[in-house]
Structure 1
Amino acid sequence: MEEMPPGYRFYPTEEELVCFYLHSQLEGRRMSEINRVIPLLDIYRFEPWQLPKQCGELCYGDPEQWFFFVPRQEREVRGGKPSRTTASGYWKATGSPSYVHSATGKVIGVKKSMVFYKGKAPIGKKTKWKMNEYKAIKQDYPTSVPQLRHELCLCRVYVVSGSLRAFDRRPLVTEMSTSSREIATRIV
């Protein structure tokens, strides 16, 4: 892929992640383009800090977030819960799953948030690594309860930094130089 222009960021909304990327992957549309952006990877075979080197071209080098399609595990196929353990720790769900809504308010998916713990459960040490796991809703579900598509999920892995995203950071007024403050005052 050719180099991106300065300032370019891959920062999709939850609706875009579910409606475009996840549904396209599930339906086999635009596979080569989408796999360059979000690769298919069993992320549980890696430690979270190894994942940035496994990400797609548009996220490679992003210091804050990485996206992956994760195939359903064999134990899920047989009706069991997925194993979210790695060699050095485990991913633990936090809170209850929540619905992802479209701009029109329609339920389009489910999001589950997780935190990575180093060590063995239940005494692992909480880290700053987080993950949002998205599953799509079957597009035409006949019942009032949405039904999930389980064959694949999309995961956003990120590190909690304690600060705003790099491109959202702005200098505070107290950090501005006197001349900058004077210019800002004249503009207002």
Structure 2
Amino acid sequence: MEKLNFVKNGVVRLPPGFRFHPTDQELLLDYLKRKVFSCPLPASIIPELDVCKADPWDLPGDWEEERYFFSRREAKYPNGKRSNRATGSGYWKATGIDKQIVSASGKHVVGLKKTLVFYRGKPPHGSRTDWIMHEYRLHSSVSNQMRKEKWVVCRIFLKKRGTKNQNPVFYDFLRSDSSSSSGSSGITQVSCNESDDHEESSKSNFNSF
């Protein structure tokens, strides 16, 4: 199969109509595992980049879309295991516990997903933003712990702002004139329970930062 390269100058450019939406398992096994062991990738679609060398809005690609990068884990302290996630304007802070990603069969853990939130400023007084990063790393049973190059794959996006506290107003144009003249305004309020938990969408207002 011919190897296709969709990355130009660090930016992913797919043909019209194509979208890159891999599952967690695909990111770990079809891309990260192959990257770690220097195997051919299905397609050259994920650029190599130290994601902490730039603020999230300055990374290559369209910030309104999900962006994926291969990145090396840089130690924060000599002989330490904590990663250095400070950027020019802020830092990435881990939230919650790492999620185990299992194989398609559900029998084996193939990797871990860490969720991080970007804060502007200096810790511990940074200001939280809507920038989210999912950092994927292979499980020790899949990768070789003795390898010097510790690659991860990162998915970066803007979290969608919620509207669950808003009550949209709908006009009932089918209401009869007689009912409207009885004192009714002809306006129906409908509660919206849409969740704001989506971690994949990235179309928030950039001006809020």
Structure 1 and Structure 2 fold alike (TM over 0.5): yes
Q: What is the alpha-carbon distance in structure 1 between the residues aligned to residue 14 and residue 112 of structure 2?
A: 33
CA drift at 1:115: 0.2
**2:51 paired residue among 29, 32, 43:** 43
Distance in 1 (CA, whole Å) between partners of 2:142 and 2:30 is: 16
Provide the residue aligned with 1:13 in structure 2: 23
Displacement after TM superposition at 1:151 (Å): 0.9
Q: Which residue of 2 aligns with 1:185?
A: none
- Classify 1:90/1:162 alpha carbon distance in 2 versus 1 (closer, same or farther; 3 Å): same
Of residues 103, 106, 128 in structure 2, which corresponds to 1:126? 128
Runs of at least 5 residues in structure 1 that lack an aligned partner in the other structure: 54-59, 142-146, 164-173, 175-188
SS of match in other structure, 1:37: coil
Say if 1:111 and 1:148 are closer, same or farther in 2 by CA, change over 3 A. Answer: farther
Give the TM-score, by structure 1 length: 0.70
- Indicate the residue corresponding to 1:57 in structure 2: none
Pairwise mapping of residues 99-178 of structure 1 onto structure 2 (< 5 A)?
99-105=100-106, 106-139=108-141, 151-162=150-161
Share of identical aligned residues, percent?
Answer: 36
Check 1:5–1:88 CA distance in 2 against 1; reply closer, same or farther (3 A cut). Answer: closer
Going from structure 1 to structure 2, the CA distance change for 1:148 and 1:11 (only over 3 Å counts) comes to farther
Alpha carbons of 1:77 and 1:151: their partners in 2 closer, same or farther (altered >3 Å)? farther
1:39 maps to a residue whose letter is P
Aligned-partner Cα distance in 2 for 1:133–1:148: 20
Question: Which residue in 1 is equivalent to 2:40?
Answer: 30
Partners in 1 of 2:48 and 2:78 — Cα distance?
18
Shift of residue 71, structure 1, vs aligned partner: 1.0
Aligned-partner Cα distance in 1 for 2:109–2:146:
11
Contact kept? 2:110, 2:142, Cα under 8 Å: no
Question: How many aligned residue pairs are there?
Answer: 151
- Contact (CA 8 Å) 1:111, 1:134: kept in 2 or not? yes
Gaps of 5+ in 2: 1-5, 7-12, 163-169, 171-209
Deviation of 1:87 (Å): 1.1
CA distance in 1, matches of 2:134, 2:82: 17
CA contact (8 A) 2:51 2:71 kept: yes
Separation of aligned partners in 1, 2:90 and 2:49 = 18
The Cα of 1:72 is off from its aligned counterpart by 2.5
Tell me, in whole angstroms, the C-alpha distance in 2 between the residues paired with 1:140 and 1:46.
30
After superposition, the Cα gap between the structure-2 partners of 1:140 and 1:5, relative to the gap in structure 1 and judged at 3 Å, is: closer
Given residue 29 of structure 1, which amino acid in structure 2 is its aligned partner?
C
Looking at structure 2, the residues matched to 39 and 107 of structure 1 have their Cα atoms a distance apart, in angstroms, of 26
Work out the CA distance in 2 between the residues paired with 1:80 and 1:62: 30
Rg larger for: 2
Query: Who is 1:171 aligned against?
Result: none
Determine helix, strand or coil for the equivalent of 2:57: helix
Q: TM-score, normalised by structure 2?
A: 0.63
